[in-house]
Amino acid sequence: DGGITQSPKYLFRKEGQNVTLSCEQNLNHDAMYWYRQDPGQGLRLIYYSQIVNDFQKGDIAEGYSVSREKKESFPLTVTSAQKNPTAFYLCASSPQAVETQYFGPGTRLLVL
Amino acid sequence: DQQVKQNSPSLSVQEGRISILNCDYTNSMFDYFLWYKKYPAEGPTFLISISSIKDKNEDGRFTVFLNKSAKHLSLHIVPSQPGDSAVYFCAAALSGNTGKLIFGQGTTLQVKP
């Protein structure tokens, strides 16, 4: 049963703390993406990776970091430098970079 | 600078009637457009797409129209069903092999029984 999984569903961050959001896909897709959604707004691209061991900054990469050591996994770290981290985070993947993207269920990050 | 705009935050239609969701864009380099449907606290679900070389694409109850001269696309849902009630996002992809999608702000569709 192929798909994209994100964990956890809800995540709480304390001030000054780094947190890591997980994204795993078993679709054998080359490309993976991280988006952020804020209330009443569209999705904004944080980082994307077209191939293993390579990734590029999106439109709002400041305060975030990623790694792509395996094809199936694209974890996102929200660092303490991200001053407004409360949002709904969505991971997506596509067979290759220019094809339709398919999304995971999302992780809601809240700041304590 | 909002390159993809959905100017109607919400739309309400009666069950069985047509729903028309609109999207405008400013960048003539966009060459691929997509519509996604999203329920609260869930990831978006892909609905339908269209390449810039076409002006219409149809899939069941969903049809997307592209007017390149006006830089405008629309999603038609006929007939509308209560289960179609959700937020609809249009997205555009730039030509070239980047894979970056630019999303509109979304339109909330409510289909009344």
CB pairs under 8 A between A and B: 65
Average pLDDT over residues B27-41: 92
CA B39 – CA B86 distance, rounded (Å): 5
A-chain residue closest to B46, CA distance:
A102
pLDDT digits (tens, 9 = 90+) for A75-88: 999 998 888 999 99
**Which of A35, A42, A103 faces B106 most closely, judged by CB atoms?**
A42
- Tell me which of A5, A24, A33, A43 to substitute to probe the interface with B (most B C-beta atoms closer than 10 Å): A43
Nearest CA-CA distance, residue A79 and chain B, Å: 23
Amino acid A85: pLDDT? 92
CA B111 – CA A66 distance, rounded (Å): 40
| A1 vs A62, higher pLDDT | A62
CB A34 within 8 A of CB A58: yes
A-chain residue closest to B94, CA distance:
A98
Q: Which residues of B touch A90 (CB under 8 A)?
A: 43-44
Whether the pLDDT of residue B96 is over 80: the answer is no
Residue B84 is classified by DSSP as G
Amino acid B68: pLDDT? 95
Secondary structure (DSSP) of A17-48: --EEEEEEE-S--SEEEEEEE-TTS-EEEEEE
Token pair in block for residue A29: 């897709």
Residue A57's pLDDT band, with cuts at 50, 70 and 90, is very high
Residue A60's pLDDT band, with cuts at 50, 70 and 90, is very high
What whole-number percentage of chain B has pLDDT above 90? Answer: 85
Of the candidates B42, B37, B32, B33, the one whose C-alpha atom is nearest the C-alpha of residue B19 is: B37
Nearest CA-CA distance, residue B93 and chain A, Å: 8
Q: Which residues of B touch A101 (CB under 8 A)?
A: 34, 46, 99, 101
What whole-number percentage of chain A has pLDDT above 70? Answer: 97
- Residues of A engaging B, defined by a Cβ cutoff of 8 Å: 4, 6, 31, 33, 35, 40-45, 48, 50, 58, 88, 90, 92, 94, 96-106, 108
Whether the pLDDT of residue A2 is over 80: the answer is no
Amino acid B100: pLDDT? 83
